[in-house]
C-alpha cells in the first residue's frame, strides 16, 4: 500500500467511500471496508506530511537543505 502513488490511494479510498455510502453491503463487509479506508487515510496522511516537509525545505547557497522560513519584517 505504501508503495502506491498518492493518487492511486485516493482513488481506492473514494471507491470504498462510495461503496459504504451506497449501503448495499452487509455489516461485516462494511466494517472491513471501513478498516481498509482508515488504513488508506493513514498512509495518505503520512505521504502528505512527508510532502509538506519536503516542500518546506530549500537548497541553501552552500548546497545543503535548510528549513524554509518566512520572515515577517513589519
Residue 23 lies in a domain: yes
In eight-state DSSP terms, residue 43 is H
Residue 24 lies in a domain: yes
Residue 1 lies in a domain: no
38: which residues sit within 8 A by CB, 6+ positions away? none
Structural domain boundaries, residue 55: 6-67
Tell me: the pLDDT tens digits for 33-65? 999 999 999 999 999 998 888 777 766 666 677
- How many other C-beta atoms can be found within 10 angstroms of the C-beta atom of residue 19? 15
Is this model's pTM higher than 0.85 or not? no
pLDDT of residue 7 exceeding 70: yes
The predicted pLDDT at position 14 comes to 97
How many domains does one find in the chain? 1
The whole-number average pLDDT for the span 16-39 is: 94
Residue 73 lies in a domain: no
Residue 47 lies in a domain: yes
The whole-number average pLDDT for the span 9-24 is: 94
Q: How far apart are CA 17 and CA 5, in angstroms?
A: 19
Residue 74 lies in a domain: no
Residue 39 lies in a domain: yes
Residue 12 lies in a domain: yes
C-alpha dihedral sign at 45, 47, 52, 57: positive
Amino acid at each position: 500500500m505504501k508503495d502506491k502513488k498518492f493518487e492511486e490511494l485516493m482513488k481506492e479510498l473514494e471507491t470504498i467511500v462510495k461503496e459504504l455510502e451506497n449501503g448495499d453491503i452487509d455489516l461485516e463487509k462494511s466494517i472491513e471496508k471501513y478498516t481498509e479506508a482508515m488504513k488508506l487515510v493513514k498512509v495518505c496522511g503520512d505521504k502528505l506530511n512527508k510532502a509538506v516537509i519536503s516542500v518546506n525545505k530549500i537548497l541553501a547557497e552552500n548546497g545543503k537543505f535548510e528549513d524554509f522560513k518566512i520572515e515577517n519584517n513589519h
